[in-house]
Amino acid sequence: MSSIIYTVSSGLTFWSLTEALGRHRALSQTSSPESLESVPYQVPRPTFRNQDIPPQSYSPPLFDLNQSEQFNLYRLAIGDSVNVIVQDFPEFSFAGAIDPEGQIRVPFLGKISLVGLTLDEVQTKIAYELSQSYLQEEPEVIAVLGTPRPVQLTVLGEVFRPGYYFFNPGITLNNLLVSVGGSTPRADLRSIIVRRRLVDGTELEERVDLYSPLVEGQRLPEFRLQGGDTVIVSKLEAGQQDYDQTLIARTNLAQPSITVRVLIPDDRSGGVAIRSITLRNGSTFLDAAATLPPNIPLLTEEEVTLLRFDPEQGRVVTQGLNPIKTVESLDVTQYVTLRDQDVIVVSRTLLGKVYAAFRILTRPIRDLFSFTSFFLNFTDTFDD
C-alpha cells in the first residue's frame, strides 16, 4: 500500500511541476538546445544507524600529541609482520606475520599470540617466555615492526562519503577527510571523534580539533590512524556564530566542488531554461556569474534570487542579489558564498512560478533531499 501511495504522490508531483512551470527545454552555451549538459547529483543517504553517532553535546578528551599516550601507541593486529632479535642468542630470533588466528610462530616456543600488544610489550613477552623455558635470565629482545597491516576504517558523520575504507599504513586524519570527499557544510571540525577498541574490549575515545589550527595559522595535528579505528565527524550545532564555514569551504578538508543551478526564463519558448554548473567549494555568487557563458544573462539589471534549503530552519530560504551592484559597486554584501545545491532564479515572474509549484506539492519540502529532488525532477522532465 505504501509503495502505491508513493507512486501516486510522485505522479502528482510530476504533473504539478509540468503545469506550474510550463514548457521546459535546455539552454546551452550555443544556440542548440540539445547541447545542455546537466550535472547529475545524488544526495548521499545515511550509511549507519543514528545510535552509532554520539550526540552533539558529547565531547571526549582533546587529543594532544605529547599527552595522548594511548593513541600514540601502535598495537599489533592480524596482518602485521614483526622482526624480533634476541641479543646473544640468534637461534631464538625470528621474523613473520601475525596469522588470521592472531598468532605468530616463534622458534622453540611455537605459536604465540601478539594481537593487541605494542612492540615494547612484545619484547617483554618474548623475553619472559624464553627465560621460563630455555634461559636462566631474561635476554635482551628488540622487536621492530616489519610490514604494517592495511588500515581498515569506519567513517561516520558529516563527511561527503561515509562508509568502510581500506588505506595504506600511516594515513593521517586530515588526509582521510580528503580521501572520503571532504566534510559537509554541516561538519564541526573542532570535534572529530576517533574511537579505538582494544583487544580486551576497552574503548578509547579522543577528540581531534582541525579547525583551530586553520584559524590560528598553525600546523594540523599529526593524528595517525590505525586499523579498526572509527572516525566520527560531529555535526555543527545550530546557531554557531564563532565557526567560519566559508574558511573551511576553501580548504581541502571540505568537499572540493559544489553543484549550483541557474533558472532563467526562455523568451523564445515562453518556458524555463535551467543550467547546472559545478564550482569550487567556497565560490561566491560572482564566481557563478563568471562561470556562465555570455548567452546566460545572470548579470542583468533585474534582481535575482538565491534559493537555499536551510537545515537549521528546516525550510527553503531566499536572498535577493543585485548582479550589477555586485560588479560595479564591489558591494561586499553581495559576495554571498554559495553552498551545494543552491538555486539561482532570474526574474521575479519565474520565482513566482517556482513558489506556486512549491505550494501545490503533495509532499512538502522538508529536507535537502526533497529540495534537490524538486529540481532534479524538473531537469528530468525537460531532458525527456
CA dist., res. 227 & res. 331, Å (int)? 50
- Three cell numbers at 7? 507512486
- Three cell numbers at 209? 580539533
Instruction: Check residue 110 and give its pLDDT.
Output: 93
**Residue 22 in contact with residue 272, Cβ under 8 Å?**
yes
- Three cell numbers at 98? 601475525
Instruction: Check residue 137 and give its pLDDT.
Output: 92
Give the pairing type, strands 343-346 and 257-266: parallel
Instruction: For residue 234, give the nearest of 368, 60, 55 by alpha carbon.
Output: 55
Instruction: Check residue 78 and give its pLDDT.
Output: 93
Other CB atoms within a 10 A radius of the CB of residue 353 amount to: 18
Instruction: Check residue 374 and give its pLDDT.
Output: 82
**Residue 81 in contact with residue 95, Cβ under 8 Å?**
yes
Instruction: Check residue 364 and give its pLDDT.
Output: 74
Rg, Å, the chain Cα set: 28
CA dist., res. 305 & res. 298, Å (int)? 11
Tens of each residue's pLDDT in the chain, 384 residues: 444 334 434 444 433 434 433 433 333 333 333 333 333 444 444 444 455 666 555 667 677 766 667 788 899 999 999 999 999 999 999 999 999 999 999 999 999 999 999 999 999 999 999 999 899 899 999 999 999 999 999 999 999 999 999 999 989 999 999 999 999 988 999 999 999 988 888 888 999 999 999 999 899 988 899 999 999 999 988 777 789 988 899 899 999 999 998 887 776 666 677 788 899 998 988 888 778 776 665 655 667 889 998 887 888 898 888 766 655 656 666 678 899 999 988 878 778 888 887 777 767 787 888 888 887 776 444 443
**Residue 109 in contact with residue 129, Cβ under 8 Å?**
yes
Taking each helix axis as running N to C, give the angle between helix 368-383 and helix 2-21, from 0 to 180 degrees, rounded to the nearest 10: 60
CA dist., res. 317 & res. 246, Å (int)? 18
pTM here is 0.72
Q: If you ran DSSP here, which 8-state letter would residue 267 be given?
A: T
